[in-house]
């Protein structure tokens, strides 16, 4: 029997580190305003970088608090936006104002100054730069996605809900990849029960 492969925990950063990284983006420049918005959407929704860059203007609906992912690995899905999404709204508002000035013919949400679709490599390079600039170290789109998912689970979100957000084919995948976060939540649940029975 072949030895069982060891699971590799996804690399993440803390919310505080992501805050520092976002604050390091110099939004005096149009392209940086766009980059901030791309990353803000990815962090809020845990989208894959390719999914974020494939979004159309109509796909992000703040009135209904949802993002429609049409080019995900498992087909189309709906990802809810956080109820408290003021920072995301502000970031997107600034970007949409810049985008309107660029006046692209494409209906893609995130475009270059010439109206072309952003490349995933550009997002990766920018994120790596912001990681160095902010002092949080190596940062990638996958880290952003994994951090968002880990935070959801650690905060008590149901794994099946996180599965839907991430677009995993099965709940088992979510539980395997993010077992560390589920374990953290399980320990917290046990401790809270112990506190409750002690105070009862």
Mean pLDDT by 10 residues, the chain (200 residues): 48 92 97 98 94 96 92 80 89 97 96 96 97 96 91 82 84 71 56 64
pLDDT of residue 119: 96
pLDDT of residue 6: 44
Catalytic residue, from 13, 36, 146, 178: name it: 178
Catalytic residue, from 11, 56, 58, 73: name it: 73
Helical pair 141-154 and 15-23, crossing angle rounded to 10 deg? 140
Identify the CATH assignment for 15-199 out of 1.10.10.10, 1.10.443.10, 3.10.20.70, 1.20.58.220. Answer: 1.10.443.10
Annotated catalytic residue 168: yes
pLDDT of residue 170: 75
Annotated catalytic residue 192: no
Catalytic residue, from 48, 99, 130, 146: name it: 48
Please name the residues in contact with 31: beta carbons below 8 A apart, sequence gap of 6 or more: 113
Catalytic residue, from 66, 94, 142, 180: name it: 142
45 is written with which tokens?
């929704």
Please name the residues in contact with 104: beta carbons below 8 A apart, sequence gap of 6 or more: 111, 115
Annotated catalytic residue 193: no
Instruction: Name which of 188, 177, 185 is nearest 157 in CA terms.
Output: 185
Annotated catalytic residue 48: yes
What is the pTM for the complete model shown? 0.82
H/E stretch holding 188 reads helix 179-199
């Amino acid at each position: 029997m072949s030895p069982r492969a060891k699971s590799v925990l996804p690399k993440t950063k803390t919310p505080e580190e992501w805050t520092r990284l976002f604050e390091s983006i110099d939004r005096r420049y149009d392209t940086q305003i766009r980059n901030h918005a791309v990353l803000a959407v990815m962090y809020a929704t845990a989208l894959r970088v390719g999914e974020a860059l494939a979004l159309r203007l109509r796909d992000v609906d703040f009135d209904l608090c949802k993002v429609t992912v049409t080019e995900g690995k498992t087909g189309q899905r709906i990802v809810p936006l956080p109820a408290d999404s003021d920072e995301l709204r502000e970031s997107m508002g600034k970007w949409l104002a810049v985008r309107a000035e660029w006046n692209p013919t494409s209906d893609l949400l995130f475009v270059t100054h010439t109206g072309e679709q952003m490349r995933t490599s550009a997002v990766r390079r920018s994120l790596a730069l912001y990681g160095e600039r902010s002092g949080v170290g190596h940062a990638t789109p996958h880290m952003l996605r994994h951090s968002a998912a880990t935070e959801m689970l650690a905060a008590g979100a149901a794994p099946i809900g996180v599965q839907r957000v991430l677009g995993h084919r099965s709940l088992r995948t979510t539980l395997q990849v993010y077992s560390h976060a589920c374990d953290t939540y399980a320990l917290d649940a046990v401790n809270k029960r112990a506190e409750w029975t002690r105070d009862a």
